[in-house]
Amino acid sequence: MTEGNQIITQDVNVLNEPGKNGALMSIKDLKVYFELRRFGFGHAGYVRAVDDVTFDVKHGEAIAVVGESGCGKSSLMKTILGLYRPTEGKVVFEGKDLGKMDARVIKWYRTQVGYVQQDPYGALPPFMNVQKILSEPLIIGGVRDKVQRDERINKVMTDVKMTPVSDFINKFPHMLSGGQQQRMVIARAMIMEPKFLVADEPVSMLDASVRVEILKLLRNLQERYHFSVIYITHDLSTVRYFSERVFVMYAGKIIEKARIADLLRNPLHPYADALLAATSEPDAKNATTYKDVPPGEPPSLVNPPSGCRFHPRCPKIIKGLCEVQEPPDFNPEPEHTVLCWLYK
Amino acid sequence: MVDKELLRVEQLKLYFRTTQGVVQAVDGVDFNLDYNRAVVIVGESGCGKTSLARAILRLLPRNVDTYSGHIYLDGNDVMAYDDEEFRQNVRWIKMSLVPQAAMNALNPVMRVGDQVAEPAMIHLGVKADEAMSMARKMFQNVGVAADFLFRYPFELSGGMRQRAALAMALVTSPILIVLDEPTSALDLLTQANIMNVLKRIKHEFETSYILITHDVATSSELADEVAVMYAGQIVEVGDTPRFFPNPLHPYSKKLMNSVPRLHGDKEPEFIIGQPPSLISPPTGCRFAARCPSRFEKCDEDPPTFTLDGRKVKCWLYA
């Protein structure tokens, strides 16, 4: 479009090429399929939970992955955590391919990635006190010295603002409030000083007033310790306070990648547009209008629709193209890619 | 029927006995609701929102300590009814409930259609096949295909189960529906869809709603009025066009500031501190300990002040 556009477009190419631009993790053509079996042994197809996903995570960057339940965002996350093996494609962390790691390297890898679970109460073992919950990763991670362990526990508890530490250290999870439990989960994820944090809907179970507090805490920690974060959520309104880039996922594919401000200003994919339109803001006028919601529900990942996976629900469908051919990545704006034929 | 009072709640109290003492979950709540209006009750978890819903519908657990006050529905004091009268004349006839996490509240071993038809058979006394055709009609109203009547809950998606629970609350055509967190467990698009359905039903059937939620942003889709609840009490009641841009009570202000927004530059804030225990709540204003604008007066319990038709329980407006 403009000259300025072209200059930055080159940056996008660098950005999209795994391994360059100081990427901490690069994911290339990742597919995660789960085999369905009939009567325990007959093959009955695959659930294509993640299908051809490519992106890079830079050092110290926060990325939000937005999508509805069943779109594959949890499978993507679990593959990144090394809990699922990629069916095809690569997940490369600091030059090491996750699919080829042996048990020892996996153990090292797990000290490098932290995991913040969705439901803090479910994620904390009810029969362990705070001291024990935080010691265990250290013991497994090879910190043998008790004094050193206590020092690190003290530090991480101060980091998540659970002070004075002595008030909390002997408490069990049920004695903590929801916000405090979530701080504990963050402390546990951070105690090995990971380079990478995966946060799976870290605030969706919390009260509205505590949500912002936890997100700000995570953001501050990230700025202080420069780790990268993947923040998985379905709530678009919290994304802008937390991340630089946002990926929109639909039916196993990342359909739009953009800087958060660009997505909010100008969502390109009709699905991203619908998500934004469906997000409410407190305004009395809302009660007098109906929301424009695409019909139907997300497709089954066993037999996804041909062509573009959103075409059966899309208001802007181009007949004869969208249902036939899968759209490639288009790049109509700098650092803004979209999987949609509208932008060819 | 507009501007006619449907529900008036006066000094409603619901206390529970626990091993630690008496929990004052709902402590002297007053509010009213006109025909074909929706009031949303917002507050943090543990502020007594759900207990208020249960108190209005008299769905009480066994450890009730105190249950008092007045609930006037259509001019009749339903608190004076005994349990059987209440069941026969009020519950599901006049008002019904969509419970919290309604999608998981369905009976897993009963077909959805039978569950939706059941209230009609019990409360309206209609025959099974007539109830079934009512259920079929309700399914149409909430936007679920009629062949889902014969499926079991596990065969339905979350959004469809939520709609089925809504159909169950609607099947007896009550004038008031209490919705307890109707969309909190749902996806964004499904949530917007359900809100559309609720709006349409309000329009077509002239139903009134009491919507209980902690999600202020989504609640604005339906609400005509907002009641803010804090530590068992309602601290502010106001109409949405004035409440959303300009809440009065310091707690409402904080609550509105904590809502993340899609647009605009305002950073969301959070409320420092914890709500007080409901076992021994503070004697003065219950928000005083967390309030940025507290002064000496706040040690006394504030009465409810009225300002241009808005009600606020705060000394600042004395």
Q: Where are the domains of chain B?
A: 5-94+175-317, 102-173
Over residues A140-156, mean pLDDT: 92
CB-CB under 8 Å, B271 with A280: no
- Say if residue B267 is exposed, middle or buried (CB neighbours under 10 Å; 0-12, 13-18, 19+): exposed
Over residues B165-183, mean pLDDT: 91
CATH architecture of B5-94+175-317: 3-Layer(aba) Sandwich (3.40)
Q: How far is A93 from chain B (nearest CA, A)?
A: 32
The whole-model pTM stands at 0.85
Residue from the list A283, A291, A293 with its beta carbon closest to the beta carbon of B244: A283
Q: Answer whether residue A4 shows pLDDT above 50.
A: no
Residue from the list B195, B269, B274 with its beta carbon closest to the beta carbon of A212: B269
Report the candidate in B310, B315, B301, B299 with the shortest Cα–Cα distance to residue B232. B301
CB-CB under 8 Å, B158 with A280: no
Over residues A164-173, mean pLDDT: 91
CB-CB under 8 Å, B263 with A280: no
Sort strands B95-98 and B305-307 into parallel, antiparallel or unpaired.
unpaired
Q: How far apart are CA A179 and CA A166, in angstroms?
A: 18
Residue B75 has what pLDDT? 87
Q: Answer whether residue B103 shows pLDDT above 80.
A: no
Residue A14 has what pLDDT? 39
Report the candidate in B237, B202, B286 with the shortest Cα–Cα distance to residue B1. B202
Q: Answer whether residue A32 shows pLDDT above 60.
A: yes
CB-CB under 8 Å, A264 with B44: no
Instruction: For chain A, give the number of residues.
Output: 344
Q: Which residues of A touch B254 (CB under 8 A)?
A: 209
Residue A298 has what pLDDT? 85
Residue A19 has what pLDDT? 44
Q: What are phi and psi of A50, to 5 degrees?
A: -130, 125
Q: Answer whether residue A163 shows pLDDT above 60.
A: yes
Q: Answer whether residue A319 shows pLDDT above 70.
A: yes
Residue A21 has what pLDDT? 52
Choice among A231-240, B104-113, B169-178 with the minimum mean pLDDT: A231-240
From residue B226, alpha-carbon distances to A18, B31, B249 in Å are 51, 10, 12
Q: Which residues of B touch A180 (CB under 8 A)?
A: none
Express as a percent the part of chain B with pLDDT over 90: 58
B3 pLDDT band (50/70/90 cuts)?
low
Residues 6+ apart with CB under 8 A from A104: none
Q: How far is A166 from chain B (nearest CA, A)?
A: 19
Over residues A207-211, mean pLDDT: 79
Chain A CA closest to residue B251? A209
B45 in A contact zone (CB under 8 Å): yes
Q: Which residues of A touch B261 (CB under 8 A)?
A: 237, 281
Q: How far is A191 from chain B (nearest CA, A)?
A: 25
Bridge partners, B208 (sequence order) = B176
Express as a percent the part of chain A with pLDDT over 70: 94
Q: Which residues of A touch B192 (CB under 8 A)?
A: 277-278, 280, 291, 293
* pLDDT digit string, tens, across residues B51-81: 999 999 999 989 999 999 999 998 889 999 9
Q: Answer whether residue A70 shows pLDDT above 60.
A: yes
* pLDDT digit string, tens, across residues B213-230: 888 888 899 999 999 999
- Say if residue A17 is exposed, middle or buried (CB neighbours under 10 Å; 0-12, 13-18, 19+): middle
Q: Residue A227, CB half-sphere, CA atoms under 13 Å: how many?
A: 25
Chain B CA closest to residue A176? B274
CB-CB under 8 Å, A293 with B187: no
Q: Which residues of B touch A238 (CB under 8 A)?
A: 260
Over residues A114-132, mean pLDDT: 92
